[in-house]
């Protein structure tokens, strides 16, 4: 069932969120 897996769009949104968090806290890298 393809609905059980996250869509490509959802994966892109997660990537954007991760990049946003990384940009907000560069000192933690």
pLDDT digits (tens, 9 = 90+) for 1-29: 556 787 999 999 999 999 998 888 766 65
Three-state DSSP at 5 gives coil
Q: What angle do CA 26, 12, 10 make, to 5 degrees?
A: 125
Domain hosting residue 16, numbered range = 1-29
- In this prediction the pTM is 0.55
Q: What is the rounded CA–CA span in Å between residue 14 and residue 2?
A: 18
Query: For the chain, how many helices (H) and strands (E)?
Result: 1, 0
pLDDT for residue 14: 95
Number of domains, the chain: 1
pLDDT given at position 4: 74
pLDDT at 25: 78
């Amino acid at each position: 069932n393809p609905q059980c897996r996250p869509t490509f769009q959802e994966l892109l949104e997660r990537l954007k969120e991760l990049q946003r968090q990384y940009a907000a806290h560069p000192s933690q890298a």
